[in-house]
Amino acid sequence: MAEITISLPDGSQRSLAKGATATTLAESIGSRLAKAAVAAVVDGAEVDLGRPLPSGAQVAIITGDSDEGRHVLRHSTAHVMAQAVTQLFPGAKFSIGPAIVDGFYYDFELPGGRTFTESDLEAIEARMREIIKADQPFVRAEMPAADALRLFADQPYKREIIERVSSGAADNEDVSEVGSDESISVYRNTPEFVDLCRGPHVPSTGRLGHFKLMKVAGAYWRGNEKGPMLQRIYGTAWESNAALDEHLHRLEEAEKRDHRKLATELDLLSFPSQLGGGLAVWHPKGGIVRKVMEDYSRDRHINGGYQFVFTPHLANANLFRQSGHLDFYRDNMYPPMEMDNGTYYPKPMNCPMHCLIFDARQRSYRELPLRLFELGTVYRYERAGTLHGLMRIRGFTQDDSHIFCTDEQLQEEIASLLDFVMSVLRAFGFTEFTANLSTKDPLKYVGSDEAWARATDALQLALDKYGLPHKIKEGDAAFYGPKIDIDVKDAIGRTWQLSTIQCDFALPERFNLEYIGADNARHRPIMLHRALFGSLERFMGVLIENYAGAFPTWLAPVQARVLPVAEAHENYAAEVAARLHTEGFRVDVDEANDQLGKRIRAAKMEKIPYVLVVGDDDVSAATLGVNPRGGDVERGVALDDFIAGLRAEIAEQLAQGNDRPVPREAATEAPAAGFDPGVIAPATRNLAK
């Protein structure tokens, strides 16, 4: 009997009978592997387990618990969903159903413009379970486009995909559906149900089942806003029920961190509907957090060599005409106000006004780099459906900086700017960062190629020097210059885009900005835009979600609450609170009108870092019972010791902003631009536990 030889990922080789498949191979290795297998990689290409292996092939088995394996499970589950929908809704057209992060979706068009309801999801899910129980095979077939067009005669979206692929106009989305070959591949589950697909798929539907349909939503066909709106069903699918449950649990945890929910619960801020969409008011508790954030930011900026400026919320249309915003950004600007001496707009950006400040008098190279800083409140008309709590909002305050520098300074300035940005972000508890470098869109840009190359190199060099992992986004830059965006990873692994550093060749031109160089000639400065928090609102939202509302002590709205055990201890409680207040801490007292346990519970629900219980023992000994958030109760702590510890803890938290990344080779060198990177000296840091 003829044999074939295949190589495994560990370098070993196996002989199998001719015609053997990856399933045979997996079985020959072990029954557990055979059971977990969902597809295979043969000579670098993902294929079905049931495909015969060519002799000499390099083969790896894909199991369901790998990223590739889950992708196969999800994609296969999407097919099952499409079959269930076509059974339950005769005449339904189906378009695209890919695997995505954590799950899959499929887009449908129902006859008569019908839409799915939540209860439809239950019925579809039930039918899917029947299909899975029936253990239908996934049978692959390949055919010429003409045959495929006939096969999908009543599926216009499928036909469109086939036509695009066969005419060579396929995009990635299409290719994932059918592959890029001349022939079209399809997978058939039943005589009635067949779907276009590149594969691979699990051998049969019985291999699926750890899934849940999550939600229904509208989605444009091919993402085209002008095209038809389809009905999309999202689902999640995993290799086991344990993995599914874990995922659902993660979603619950994320929901508990939702900043909109916590903002209400913790009385931080709100979005009164009377204000209008996308506009927030900060309550006292949120206000104090913001104030602490702002104070810290201002201190760091002073140390970082920035100069503070203030600009109005409105400007004459001419300003935005000159800056180009009216041409490029009008759709996102609030509508104009007609005044007796012209037309005024609420500002969507601070940059034009900062340009005016630069231009207010003649500038010398000796003043550069000129770093202007403003907590500037701007208004942007975000479309109604795009608003999302603090994350996408219409009125917000940017911690906005514009730096004017010479060509020669650009490199150093960007490097020190990146240091500065990272240092401040670290103070807010973020430790993992990634960046994106967006480069020139060759079809849409202003400025010279040399300038772009120089600026892009400077950004690249700064990232390399800092050792910040980053991706290059080719052609993703705005027309006016390349940029770096910095993403942070939060406590549960989600990433948020916060800071941005952008080069701008356009505005200095439009405002005809100049400085007098050492050569006594006029030169055009380069302008850098930089937002660090992005906006205070959004940053607050990210902080709330990152800390799940439990702000570190230095940021917490109330840092300590004093609870007298009984009325007799209220005077002492007030003394303790007064002392803490004098020492500069945010403290309040909850008098003994309720049971102690109840007051402790209330304080815990408010996520206050320290609950201080004082009773008879404490009055006589000048001590406290310290109940820290997330820690154990300690009785009999001397007030002075508590104060010292609190001060040390806060200093330590702030000092995170001084830490440089450890593995960096150049960690010992001085900051590039010769400025103090903004270290806040923690006087009591040595007192840290």
Partner RNA sequence: GCCGGGUUAGCUCAGUGGUAGAGCAACCGCCUUGUAAGCGGUAGGUCAAGGGUUCAACCCCCUUACCCGGCUCCA
Of residues 239-298, those binding RNA (CB under 7 A): 260-261, 264-265, 271, 273, 276-278
- Considering only residues 112 to 131 of the shown chain, the ones binding RNA according to CB under 7 A are 115, 117-118
CB of 602 to RNA, least distance (A): 7
- Considering only residues 177 to 216 of the shown chain, the ones binding RNA according to CB under 7 A are 215-216
CB of 277 to RNA, least distance (A): 3
355 vs 349: CA distance, rounded Å: 11
Residues 6+ apart with CB under 8 A from 623: 617, 635, 636, 637, 638, 639
Contact flag: residue 387 with RNA (CB under 7 A)? yes
DSSP 478: B
Q: How far is CA 110 from CA 114, 124, 214, 578, in A?
A: 5, 14, 19, 68
At 333, is the secondary structure helix, strand, or coil? coil
Sheet bearing 560-564, strands edge to edge: 587-589, 560-564, 610-614, 623-628, 634-638
444 vs 478: CA distance, rounded Å: 8
CB of 376 to RNA, least distance (A): 13
CB of 219 to RNA, least distance (A): 4
CB of 335 to RNA, least distance (A): 12
443 vs 426: CA distance, rounded Å: 37
Tokens, residue 678: 């903004």
Q: Which value, to the nearest 10 degrees, does the dihedral of the CA atoms of residues 409, 414, 419, 424 take?
A: 110
Window 484-523: contact mask with RNA (x via CB under 7 A):
----------------------------------------
Please count the residues of this chain forming the interface with RNA, following the rule CB under 7 A.
71
- Among candidate residues 318, 67, 51, 649, the one with its CA nearest the CA of residue 59: 51
- Considering only residues 557 to 576 of the shown chain, the ones binding RNA according to CB under 7 A are 565-568
- Considering only residues 635 to 664 of the shown chain, the ones binding RNA according to CB under 7 A are 635
270 vs 281: CA distance, rounded Å: 6
Between 201 and 538, CB nearer to RNA? 538
- Considering only residues 578 to 607 of the shown chain, the ones binding RNA according to CB under 7 A are 592-598, 600-602, 604-605
Among 239, 618, 649, 652, binds RNA (CB under 7 A): 618
CB of 483 to RNA, least distance (A): 9
Between 64 and 103, CB nearer to RNA? 103
- Considering only residues 317 to 336 of the shown chain, the ones binding RNA according to CB under 7 A are 324-325, 328-329, 332
Helix axes 284-303, 536-547, angle to 10 degrees: 110
CB of 567 to RNA, least distance (A): 4
Between 84 and 263, CB nearer to RNA? 263
- Among candidate residues 94, 103, 51, the one with its CA nearest the CA of residue 76: 103
CA 141 to chain centre: 40
Q: How far is CA 196 from CA 84, 189, 328, in A?
A: 16, 12, 41
395 vs 334: CA distance, rounded Å: 10
- Among candidate residues 569, 583, 568, 430, the one with its CA nearest the CA of residue 492: 430
Q: Which residues are catalytic?
A: 351, 380, 398, 400, 402, 483, 529
Contact flag: residue 434 with RNA (CB under 7 A)? no
> Which stretch in 1-9, 182-190, 608-616, 665-673 sits in contact with RNA by CB under 7 A?
608-616
> Which stretch in 32-40, 73-81, 354-362, 477-485 sits in contact with RNA by CB under 7 A?
477-485
Contact flag: residue 231 with RNA (CB under 7 A)? yes
Residue 204 identity: S
CB of 500 to RNA, least distance (A): 9
At 635, is the secondary structure helix, strand, or coil? strand
- Considering only residues 333 to 372 of the shown chain, the ones binding RNA according to CB under 7 A are 349, 351
Contact present, 685 and 648 (Cβ < 8 Å) = yes
Among 188, 232, 300, 523, binds RNA (CB under 7 A): 232
Among 389, 395, 557, 678, binds RNA (CB under 7 A): 389
Among 1, 2, 153, 384, binds RNA (CB under 7 A): 384
Between 595 and 668, CB nearer to RNA? 595
Between 197 and 613, CB nearer to RNA? 613
